[in-house]
Amino acid sequence: MNLSKLNRILLQTLLLPVVALMVVSGVLVWQILSAKATVAQIQLADNNIATANYLSALIADQEAGIRGYQNTANEIFLQPYDFAVAPIQGSFARLHEGIAAQHGDTSQLDSLMAAHRRWVNTIAEPMIVMVRSGADTRDPGLNLRGKAYMDNVRGALASIVASQKYQRTLFVDHWQQQLRDTLIGIVVFALLTGLLIGLFARSRLHAVSGAFQDSLIKLRNNAQSTFENEQRLRAILAAIGDAVIVCDPRGSIELVNPVAQDLCGLNQESATGRNVGDVFRLLDENTHDPIPTPFEQVRDQRRLIGPSSHALLVRHDGTELHVDTSGAPIYDLNGDLAGIVLVFRNVSEQRRTQAALLASEKLAVAGRLAATIAHEIHNPLDAVVNIIYLLRQGSTPEEAAQFLEMAASELDRVTQISRAMLGMYRESRTPVAVDLEEVLSSVLLLLERRISDQQVTVNVTYAPGSVVTGFPAELRQVFTNLLTNALDVSATGSVIDVRTRPYSLRGGPAGFEVTVKDQGTGITLEDMAQLFQPFFTTKGEQGTGLGLWVSQGIVHKHGGSIHIDTNVTTEHHGTTIAVFLPFGAAVLPSEHGSGI
C-alpha cells in the first residue's frame, strides 16, 4: 500500500460519517416539515372548536335576549340578540372556512346554519314582532317549538365541536405517531449508519493495518538481511588474506580489515575517520618518490584501478613493505560515488622469493656455462703447460720465441673467456649505456665451443650503433638464456640467426630489437601459453623453468618487451624470439664499453 492509497482510505473513513449525518439531517428536516403540517391541522381544529364555542355563546346570548324581551318587552333586553347577529354570521363564515381548510364535511355546519335560521325565522323574529305588537307570547306551543329548534341548534353545534375535537385527537395522534416514527427512524438509521461506518472503517483499517503489518515485516526482513549481509561481508573482510580499506569519497576512512590494520600498523579505532592519505602512503619502489594511491586514481578516474605492483607502503612506524595495490569505486543508487575500496597485499615475502629465484637462476646460467668454460680454459692451459715443459727442456732462441708467442695467444683466450664470464656478474647499480653487439659477441664467445660441438652455424648481423640503456650483466643473462634455448633445440647442421636492428614500438619509445631465430621444432600452442610462467620447462630435469620468466622480468625492467613467433610445420619449423629494448636515457656512444 502506498501513501496515496492510504490517504484515500483515510478520506473515505472521514467522509462516510459526514455523508451519514447529512442524510440524517435531511430525514429530520422532512419529518419536521410534515409534523409542522400536522400541527397546523391541530391548530385549525382548535380554532374551529373555539369558533364553535364562541358561536354557542352568541346563540345563547340571542336566546337569552329573546327570552328577556319576551318577558319584559323592553327593547334593551333585545340588545344581545341584535348584537349577536353579525358575529354569528362572521363565525359561521370562519367556521365554514376552517372546516373547508380541513377538507372536512360542511354538512353539519349547513344543518347548524339551517337550524339557526329556522329558529331565527320562525321563533325569534316572530317573537319580536309579537312582543312589539303586544301579542300574547306565552303560547306554550310556540315556546316549546322554540325550545325544540334551539335544542336542534345546540345539538348541531355540539356535534360540530365533537367532530372537531375528534379531528383534533386524530391529528394529535398522527403527530405523536410521526414523532415516534421519526425517533425510531433516527435511532434505526443511526444504528445502521453506525454499523456501516463501523464495518467500513473496520475493513479500511484492516487494509491499512495489513499494509502496515506487511511494511513492518518487509522492514524487519530488510533489516535482517541487511544485518546478515553486513555480517557476511564483515566475516569475508576479516577472513581474506588481502588488506582492505574502505573510505568515503572524501577519503575519510570507514573500515579497515584486520590484515590492513596489521600492514598499516594501526587499529580500526585509530584509523576510523582519518584521511586515507595519512594512513596509506605509497612510494615508488625504485625512486622512493611518493606516488598516487589507488584512492586518488579511483576518485579522479571513477573506475577500477590495478592491480599494480612496484609500490612501497610506508607503515605507521615508518617501516616499508612491498605491496600490490588495487582500488574500486562504490556507487550509490543514483550512480554517484559513495565510497572507495582499497585492496592491497604484502608481497615482500614474494619479492624475497623472487629475488632468491633470480639469484639462483643467475647461478644456474653460470652452472650451465661452467662445463663450456672449463673446456675453454683447460685447452689453452694444457697448451701453455706443455709449452713451459718444452722451454724447460731447452730450446733454440727461435723455438723459444715461437713458444712464447703461442703461450701468449693461448693466455689471451683464457683472459677473454674469464672476462666474458665475469661480465655475467659484475653489475652496475644504475643503468648504463650497453653495446648490444658487445654483449652478444661475448655471450657467443662463451658458447663458441658448444656451437662448434653441435656443428651449428650462427649468423650474426649487427646494425651499427646498437646501444641501449640498461644493466649489462642482466642483458647478458637474457641473451645467454635465449641463445642456449636456441642451441638446445637446434639440430646438427642447422642455423641460428642473430641480428640487431633499430626498432620502435608503434606510439612507443625507439630502441633496438634483437632477434634470435632458430630452426628447431617450434613451440606448440599449448606450451606457448605457459612459456613465461615460472617453473615451466620443456627440458625436463635439464631445465629450471626460470630462464624465460627471468628474461622477461629483466626485459620489462628495461622498459622493453619480448615477443615470440614460432612455426611447427615440417617445412619451416623454428622459433624467433624478438627482444625490444628502448634507447632509454643514457644513450651516449662515448659512454658505452661498460660490458666486458
CB of 548 to other proteins, least distance (A): 27
In terms of phi and psi (left: phi > 0; alpha: psi -120 to 50; beta: otherwise), the region of 522 is left
Cell 639469484 belongs to residue: 359
Using an 8 Å Cβ cutoff, are 256 and 268 in contact? yes
CB of 581 to other proteins, least distance (A): 33
> What is the DSSP pairing of strand 457-461 with strand 495-504?
parallel
Using an 8 Å Cβ cutoff, are 317 and 265 in contact? yes
Residues facing residue 324 across a β-bridge = 345
Nearest to other proteins of 377, 531 (CB atom): 377
Rounded Cα gap, residues 178 and 38, in angstroms: 9
Nearby residues of 76 by Cβ (< 8 Å), 6 or more positions away = none
Nearest to other proteins of 150, 496 (CB atom): 496
CB of 457 to other proteins, least distance (A): 11
Where helices occur in 424-471 by DSSP H, the ranges are 436-446, 448-453
Using an 8 Å Cβ cutoff, are 492 and 454 in contact? yes
Nearest to other proteins of 353, 455 (CB atom): 455
Nearest to other proteins of 63, 376 (CB atom): 376
Which residues contact other proteins (rule: CB under 8 A)?
371, 374-383, 385-387, 389-390, 393, 403, 406, 409-410, 449, 452-453, 455, 492
Cell 605457459 belongs to residue: 530
The CA distances from residue 360 to 364, 426, 473, 480, 539, in Å, are 6, 16, 15, 15, 18
CB of 387 to other proteins, least distance (A): 6
Nearest to other proteins of 25, 386 (CB atom): 386
* Cα dihedral sign, 348-350-354-356: positive
Residues recorded for the chain: 596
Type of residue found at 55: L
Nearest to other proteins of 387, 434 (CB atom): 387
Q: What is the largest CA-CA distance in the chain?
A: 231
CB of 488 to other proteins, least distance (A): 18
Using an 8 Å Cβ cutoff, are 179 and 10 in contact? no
CB of 399 to other proteins, least distance (A): 8
Nearest to other proteins of 52, 456 (CB atom): 456
Cell numbers for 100 = 373547508
Tell me: cis bond preceding 307? Omega within 30 of 0 counts. yes
Secondary structure (3-state) at 518: coil
Nearest to other proteins of 7, 409 (CB atom): 409
CB of 369 to other proteins, least distance (A): 13
Type of residue found at 228: E
CB of 585 to other proteins, least distance (A): 43
CB of 373 to other proteins, least distance (A): 10
Rounded Cα gap, residues 35 and 39, in angstroms: 6
Nearest to other proteins of 488, 591 (CB atom): 488
Secondary structure (3-state) at 457: strand
CB of 361 to other proteins, least distance (A): 23
CB of 384 to other proteins, least distance (A): 9
Nearby residues of 41 by Cβ (< 8 Å), 6 or more positions away = 102, 167, 171, 174
Nearest to other proteins of 35, 373 (CB atom): 373
Nearest to other proteins of 165, 413 (CB atom): 413
Cell numbers for 204 = 479500511
